[in-house]
Structure 1
Amino acid sequence: MGADREGRGRRRPARVMAYAAGGVLVLAGCASMPDSGDLRDVESTPRQETQVRVFAVPPGEDAAPSEIVQGFLEALTSDDPHYRTARQYLTGDAAKTWRPELSTTVLTDGPGAKPDGTSGGEDARRITFRLTGTKVATVDAQQAYAPASGPYGRAVHLTQDEKSGQWRIDALPQGVLMGQSDFQRNYMSVSKYYFASNSVAAGTDSQPTAVADPVYVRRRVEPMTQMVRSLLNGPTRWLNPVVRSSFPTGTALAKDAGALTPDDRNRLTIPLNDRAAGIGSNRCDEMAAQLLFTLRDLSPAVDEVELRADGTELCSLTQDAADAAAFHSSARHPDYLYFIDAKDRLVRLPAGTRDSEAAPAPGALGEGETALRSVAVSRDERSAAGVGLDGRSLYVGSLVSGGSLGEPVLRSRGESEADRLTTPSWDAEDGLWVADRDPDRPRLLLLQEGKGDPLEVRTTQLDGRIQSVRVAADGVRIALVVEKGGKRTLFVGLIERDGKPGEEPAVRVVELRSATPELEEVTAMSWAGDSRLVVVGREHGGVQQMRYVQVDGSTPDVPPPAALTGVKEVTAADDDELPLVAYSVDGIVRLPSGAQWQKVTKGTAPVYPG
């Protein structure tokens, strides 16, 4: 529970104290902190000043019930690590049983608080306040974010102590409540990493594949320590069925670990309990890789981790060595950007360059014998798949000069082009995914290594018809645009595989959840990193827009792409240093970092490998 400094009008000034956790304090234009006198109240804390920490003021003497409620709500938006000040607004028993870590409820504005009536006599020492608002999201005990909607209404009860005469809260909901802008100021999204467990390659000697698991942590409350603890606690419930952790069950930080901070060489020492003692070097390297991937984007930088247990070093690993110990999609840099030119053939440009003169891709798909409407290139850039101009046939060919195309590997029976095959997508193990939109038999299909009989993927939770398919680089998550009742929604699901290596597995997509609940017409999308997608769509009654979204449905704290008119398709690489590329009314265009959209050339259906 909390209060929103940037939301609706305040009932009184926000009572918080602020100080800089090292460095210069900058608050509302101030460039220094006085070295004498009292700390002044501040109205708000600018989000961009991540060094500033905000602490609440304890309850005042003889504070009225309304001030107690308001002070408590304000205290929940502070950077007090254990909410000690917030507990001072509670009775002793309530302070012992209240568990703020259980959940965070996010409202559009700060919560409203109105008295719910009092009585005379003995009941005059008791009062109830009703907290109200409109829900935006919740963050659960595992720090996992989930969009939410609808009204919020809960009660807090206060009582007046007979001896001291002071009002305190004696009954309240578990968890924390705050407005959206306070949430954005207090929390940040960080991905922790586990390894894919349900792929065909799992359990073999192949390099494990890292999978991102985004969670929300408090920005200025030891985020590095928070992330290590969260990683050791295991994956979120949603991702758990398809990943594994290399940490032995029960592994945790040593009891005397304290706050984790890297040394002046950016080396972080992590003391673990005895559950991690005695592990082998390969497993320890995997554990260290999980930590390095998790801490990669935090500040201060961590270039190396050292794991210890029972006072003994288990292993140490650098960032460069982590990329060798496990596959991380952002470490793979595609060689080319691919698209279809005016001759309906597959062409390519070197990725990340300013070149605009495309060359035909080697192989039959680049020779133009079969006119194409959409393409997908395998992640190793050795094979390509193309859908014929009428959307009926799927072809697969090698990206080697002189190769023949052969017969289609799949045909749709849909009567119109819109009722036939979607753009295909390759997974990390050379599996080729495509949806057949035939209304009489809509299916999601998988062709192992792009050949053979297509395997129909079970999608029992799917309600609607698939219009677009994109498989994540980790091979265990899939993004689907699903149409129902004239609306097109983006869903993200998990890919589960049952079967032993070398056998044809039973494949199904489970745990589908909406990543864009506020958009009613998603027209294009692409993966844009480990846990992020770029989406083109519009809200009800709105205009087309392009935005980034997280797989959990939250909005990442990064600037959205620059506006672009008439976007029909979009593609992004796992390497965020490469530009976004789109097909719009201006043809093929790209968006370099820090620049505006630039025309590249004529063409359609741009794709990076995947």
Structure 2
Amino acid sequence: MNRRIGRLAAALLAALALASCATVPDSSPVKVLGRTGEAEQAPAAGPVDGSNPLDLVRDFVLASGSSSDRHGSARRFLADEAAGWDDGTGLTVLDGQFDTVPTPGAPNSADATTIRIRGTAIGRVSGSGVFEPNQASFQQDVTVVRRDGQWRIAGLPDGVVVPLTIFRDNYRSVRTWFVDPVRRLVVSDLRYVPSVPARAQAARVADLLLRGPSTALLGAAVSMLPPEAELRSNVAVSPDGALVVDLTGVGELDPSGRRLLAAQVVLSLAEVNVARVRLLVDGEPLIAERPDLTRTDVADLIAEAQPAQDVQGLVVSGGRLRQLTGPEPSAPLPGPSGDGSQDVESAALSLDSQRLALVARQGSRRALLIGGVADPSLIPTSLDAATMTRPTWAPSGTEVWTVLDGRLVTRVLTDTTTPPRTDRVDAAELVNLGPINDLRLSRDGMRVAAVVGTGLYTAAVTRSVDGGVALRNVHRLRPLDLGEVITADWGSADSVVSVSRGPDLLVAQTTMDGLGLQQVVGNNLTPPLSAVAANANRPLLVTDQNGVWSFAFGDQTAWRQVLGSAPDAVPLYPG
């Protein structure tokens, strides 16, 4: 990794010294996109003359949002002795208000003082654009001195500190794409890149692809770009408008591998508004018959399953599985799931809406049953426990997960030709944190969202060549904001909807990495809430003390009841 980054840095430095890329003829009208260190506009003005130490440090933090010219705006606040400040060691994001106050007990004089930056950190953005959540109280001390009548910062720790609002103004999220090695499909990996200069964003995305998957997907996703791969030249726009990406060191790839690599590059660059990519390897088209590629050419390789636009919600209520948002609300489904022959506690529908998994109460025990939606019978599995979390389907529709007695994460492998087989998932990293009260597979199958104790966590689903499955890279999302979480569901591959106890934040939508948090209005809801169901492009569904309610965002200002007098209801969408 270090060797590759070093090669990239050397290439960028060489490019800055040349009028054009060495591999592009001088007469070519190809426009070379901005290098990742190139400034598009002059940095904002520096410190205000006459600023007191508290205001100076505050303005420095606000100026740190702009990364242009190695945080040139922020560096204007520094005294000469702070010139070695390393802005590349990571970026701490603060949530909400932050304060600058005199550091208690620190020595002060007429020309030197120490100021404390105080707030709440929600996590750090690494040098590879990955947000790593870690919400906690934050404080950092900065030494300020007076020089020529003006206060300047003389000492501060390495790294950048930025409030979330300023970070959002200066950075944009992009999904880089890597490969699920089992299903041979591409999966998204959320990153953050500076918004300015805009013309450098394609180069930044190419750099992120060469660095490989983030730590959040370590062991779960791979790249078709080997460690020795690099760009032969800077990404550039051709005279006919295609973005030229010329790679070397890619190695031998079969046709399937070439398509996966194309999907990685094209989908990632589409995130920064690149419509057409001319993807080359050592100067030759990666896919000979299609030298130029668009998102449409590789969209079939995206792992995230897209439920039908007209997908209807279901609900478990009164021990039966019922329609919820279809033509006959609250009508029981035909067969054992709805006719009362099974005392249904929770259920899951596969993403194609063809397969059903039920948790049924059998006295003081729970059993998992599986079958087709149209089948007249359900097949029992060997699972038996005092408690089972509501089941959740993998995108393939041949694998369903549940948690037994809060500690044993189990998957059931099933198809239409063989009896169900059970397999334990290595979930020690989650189990060690407490009882697992809810667990949901993402719609690309690469992550889980889990409620452990009262916290909301995410983890990567890693699969070994021998068929073993484990949950790794566990992160807790927004513990100080979400409070006691009851249940959660995936709104998309990139966001989780959670329900919490208490009146302050009943329903919230959080990005899968914990950076973004959106409160959903609580109008009309009567806490405590007990269940939630989410699906891309469909209304949220929650259960409160009076029944099931829906919220469709947009112009809607309050929740609407869709099923009354059902405080035990568990709504569900496919997944």
TM-score, length-scaled by structure 1: 0.72
Out of 352, 357, 371, which is 1:398 matched to? 371
Question: Closer, same or farther in 2 for the Cα pair 1:93/1:393, shift >3 Å?
Answer: same
Out of 314, 319, 335, which is 1:338 matched to? 314
Question: Closer, same or farther in 2 for the Cα pair 1:287/1:98, shift >3 Å?
Answer: farther
Q: Does 1:87 align with 2:71?
A: no
Question: Closer, same or farther in 2 for the Cα pair 1:391/1:405, shift >3 Å?
Answer: farther
Q: Does 1:456 align with 2:416?
A: no
Q: Aligned letter for 2:129?
A: Q
Q: What's 2:163 paired with? A: 179
Q: Quick one: percent identity of the two aligned structures?
A: 23
Query: Counterpart of 1:148 in 2: which secondary structure?
Result: strand
Out of 481, 505, 510, which is 2:451 matched to? 481
Gaps of 5+ in 1: 1-51, 415-419
Q: Does 1:589 align with 2:563?
A: no
Once the two structures are TM-superposed, the CA of residue 268 in structure 1 deviates from its matched residue by 5.1
Question: Closer, same or farther in 2 for the Cα pair 1:311/1:94, shift >3 Å?
Answer: farther
452-461 or 380-389: bigger deviation = 452-461
Q: What's 2:34 paired with? A: none
Once the two structures are TM-superposed, the CA of residue 297 in structure 1 deviates from its matched residue by 5.3
Out of 81, 89, 112, which is 1:102 matched to? 89
Q: Give the Cα–Cα distance (whole angstroms) in 2 for the partners of residues 563 and 175 of structure 1.
A: 41
Question: Closer, same or farther in 2 for the Cα pair 1:109/1:592, shift >3 Å?
Answer: closer
Out of 190, 193, 198, which is 1:217 matched to? 193
Q: How does 1:572-583 map to 2 (within 5 A)?
A: 572-573=534-535, 576-583=536-543
Report Cα offsets for 1:567-606 as digits up to 9, x if no partner: 3211112xx2222223334433332342343333456221
Once the two structures are TM-superposed, the CA of residue 516 in structure 1 deviates from its matched residue by 3.4
Contact preservation (8 Å) 1:364, 1:398: no
Question: Closer, same or farther in 2 for the Cα pair 1:373/1:65, shift >3 Å?
Answer: closer
Once the two structures are TM-superposed, the CA of residue 155 in structure 1 deviates from its matched residue by 3.1
Query: Counterpart of 1:243 in 2: which secondary structure?
Result: coil
Report Cα offsets for 1:477-505 as digits up to 9, x if no partner: 1122122xxxx1111122233343xxxx3
Contact preservation (8 Å) 1:129, 1:155: yes
Q: What's 1:238 paired with? A: 216
Once the two structures are TM-superposed, the CA of residue 549 in structure 1 deviates from its matched residue by 0.9
Once the two structures are TM-superposed, the CA of residue 426 in structure 1 deviates from its matched residue by 1.6
Q: How does 1:135-284 map to 2 (within 5 A)?
A: 135-137=120-122, 138-145=124-131, 146-156=133-143, 169=153, 171-197=155-181, 202=182, 206=183, 208-222=184-198, 223-253=201-231, 255-257=233-235, 269-276=243-250, 282-284=256-258
Q: Aligned letter for 1:323?
A: A
Q: Give the Cα–Cα distance (whole angstroms) in 2 for the partners of residues 211 and 561 of structure 1.
A: 31
Once the two structures are TM-superposed, the CA of residue 427 in structure 1 deviates from its matched residue by 1.7
Q: Give the Cα–Cα distance (whole angstroms) in 1 for the partners of residues 394 and 42 of structure 2.
A: 45
Q: Does 1:605 align with 2:570?
A: yes
Question: Closer, same or farther in 2 for the Cα pair 1:83/1:426, shift >3 Å?
Answer: same
Report Cα offsets for 1:133-188 as digits up to 9, x if no partner: 1231222222222233124123346585xxx9987655432221223432333334
Query: Counterpart of 1:409 in 2: which secondary structure?
Result: strand
Q: Aligned letter for 1:475?
A: G
Query: Counterpart of 1:177 in 2: which secondary structure?
Result: strand
Q: Give the Cα–Cα distance (whole angstroms) in 2 for the partners of residues 360 and 229 of structure 1.
A: 53
Q: What's 1:422 paired with? A: 389
57-66 or 108-117: bigger deviation = 57-66
Q: How does 1:404-553 map to 2 (within 5 A)?
A: 404-407=377-380, 409-412=382-385, 414=386, 420-429=387-396, 430-437=398-405, 442-449=407-414, 452=420, 454-461=422-429, 462=431, 463-483=433-453, 488-500=454-466, 505-518=467-480, 519-538=482-501, 542-543=503-504, 545-553=506-514
Question: Closer, same or farther in 2 for the Cα pair 1:103/1:256, shift >3 Å?
Answer: same
Once the two structures are TM-superposed, the CA of residue 237 in structure 1 deviates from its matched residue by 1.6
Report Cα offsets for 1:433-465 as digits up to 9, x if no partner: 112227xxx422222228545333333232211
Kindly report the root-mean-square deviation, in angstroms, between the aligned alpha carbons of the 2 structures. 3.7
Contact preservation (8 Å) 1:55, 1:75: no
Query: Counterpart of 1:100 in 2: which secondary structure?
Result: coil
Contact preservation (8 Å) 2:353, 2:373: no
Out of 277, 280, 285, which is 2:259 matched to? 285
Contact preservation (8 Å) 1:337, 1:608: yes
Q: Give the Cα–Cα distance (whole angstroms) in 1 for the partners of residues 67 and 210 of structure 2.
A: 23
Q: Aligned letter for 1:175?
A: G
Q: What's 1:42 paired with? A: none
Once the two structures are TM-superposed, the CA of residue 469 in structure 1 deviates from its matched residue by 1.5
Contact preservation (8 Å) 1:341, 1:347: yes
Contact preservation (8 Å) 1:428, 1:475: yes
Contact preservation (8 Å) 2:57, 2:100: no
Question: Closer, same or farther in 2 for the Cα pair 1:263/1:405, shift >3 Å?
Answer: farther
Contact preservation (8 Å) 1:578, 1:592: yes
Q: What's 1:347 paired with? A: 322
Q: Give the Cα–Cα distance (whole angstroms) in 1 for the partners of residues 299 and 449 of structure 2.
A: 25
Gaps of 5+ in 2: 1-39
Q: How does 1:2-151 map to 2 (within 5 A)?
A: 55-58=43-46, 72-78=60-66, 80-90=68-78, 94-95=82-83, 97-107=84-94, 108-110=96-98, 112=100, 114=102, 117=107, 127=112, 129-137=114-122, 138-145=124-131, 146-151=133-138
Report Cα offsets for 1:83-136 as digits up to 9, x if no partner: 2343344466854x433232112334345264854679xxx7xx4533321231
Q: Give the Cα–Cα distance (whole angstroms) in 2 for the partners of residues 288 and 562 of structure 1.
A: 44
Question: Closer, same or farther in 2 for the Cα pair 1:168/1:581, shift >3 Å?
Answer: closer
Q: Give the Cα–Cα distance (whole angstroms) in 2 for the partners of residues 427 and 73 of structure 1.
A: 44
Contact preservation (8 Å) 2:313, 2:326: no
Once the two structures are TM-superposed, the CA of residue 529 in structure 1 deviates from its matched residue by 0.5
Once the two structures are TM-superposed, the CA of residue 372 in structure 1 deviates from its matched residue by 0.9
Q: Give the Cα–Cα distance (whole angstroms) in 1 for the partners of residues 374 and 160 of structure 2.
A: 61
Q: Give the Cα–Cα distance (whole angstroms) in 2 for the partners of residues 568 and 166 of structure 1.
A: 58
Question: Closer, same or farther in 2 for the Cα pair 1:382/1:215, shift >3 Å?
Answer: same
Question: Closer, same or farther in 2 for the Cα pair 1:360/1:109, shift >3 Å?
Answer: closer
Q: Give the Cα–Cα distance (whole angstroms) in 2 for the partners of residues 148 and 544 of structure 1.
A: 17
Contact preservation (8 Å) 1:334, 1:608: no
Contact preservation (8 Å) 1:590, 1:597: yes
Q: Give the Cα–Cα distance (whole angstroms) in 2 for the partners of residues 454 and 475 of structure 1.
A: 18
Q: Give the Cα–Cα distance (whole angstroms) in 2 for the partners of residues 83 and 247 of structure 1.
A: 31
Q: Give the Cα–Cα distance (whole angstroms) in 1 for the partners of residues 549 and 520 of structure 2.
A: 17
Question: Closer, same or farther in 2 for the Cα pair 1:167/1:345, shift >3 Å?
Answer: closer
